Amino acid sequence: AQKITQTQPGMFVQEKEAVTLDCTYDTSDQSYGLFWYKQPSSGEMIFLIYQGSYDEQNATEGRYSLNFQKARKSANLVISASQLGDSAMYFCAMREGGTGGSYIPTFGRGTSLIVHP
Amino acid sequence: SAVISQKPSRDICQRGTSLTIQCQVDSQVTMMFWYRQQPGQSLTLIATANQGSEATYESGFVIDKFPISRPNLTFSTLTVSNMSPEDSSIYLCSVGENNGHYGYTFGSGTRLTVV
């Protein structure tokens, strides 16, 4: 079974509108971390946002916020006020376990976001 | 967070040859990871490279094909040996570090085309 599921291969959004990219995860660990990365066509992986399993509030970083629903095991990325430069692949990832746990992250298949002018 | 310099950024290589990719980190890090990303795919972990020990390879990857060196806490290389067109991919190095939470920083990637 996949540990990270991104069900949207591609998404389109109009410039200045908000968009939600879906991510569900599967783990039996109580302590874990969730990440979102952006990969533009240049190929680099850019860290966007992090949510810890014990964090009570949803993480926010500028225009990025993470809609964390622990009971549903979902960690959706919300991008507000989309910009043309947001067009890229977006990957959800998870690191399981706390101290002493595995430090190897698991990545989803990614969602391609295209922002239209 | 750490800054990683990855070289080369891209290369076009003849089949049967080898390419060595370098990653230099601006701080000492324990764990380094090497990934392959085939066109249109997600990241696949090749191996974990810890300083002072042999790299740990994931299923489907072998040392003869992807030898890794990790001579110190700031540097690592990945060699793609005896290349074939199927090796055409983006190769990424990554480090794990604790900056309030344990997270991952990536190099800028090496886009390899084998002809």
Q: Where does the pLDDT of residue A102 fall: very low under 50, low under 70, confident under 90, or very high at 90 and above?
A: low
Q: What is the pLDDT of residue B92?
A: 97
CB contact under 8 A, A107 and B94: no
Residue B15 in this model has a pLDDT that exceeds 80 = yes
CB contact under 8 A, B104 and A44: no
Are the C-beta atoms of B87 and B100 separated by less than 8 Å? no
Residues of A within 8 A of B94 (CB-CB) are 45
Contacts (Cβ under 8 Å, ≥6 apart) of B55:
B47, B48, B49, B63, B68, B70
Are the C-beta atoms of B104 and B95 separated by less than 8 Å? yes
d(CA A95, CA B52): 24
| Residue A54 at interface with chain B, using a CB cutoff of 8 Å | no
Of A76, A71, A110, A86, the closest CA to residue A17 belongs to A86
When scoring B61, B106, B112 by the number of chain A Cβ atoms within 10 A, the one with the most, hence best to mutate, is B106
If contacts are CB pairs under 8 Å, which of residues 56-85 in chain B contact chain A? none
If contacts are CB pairs under 8 Å, which of residues 1-30 in chain A contact chain B? none
Residue A101 in this model has a pLDDT that exceeds 80 = no
Residue range A59-86: mean pLDDT, rounded: 97
| Residue A42 at interface with chain B, using a CB cutoff of 8 Å | yes
Chain position carrying tokens 């509030």: A57
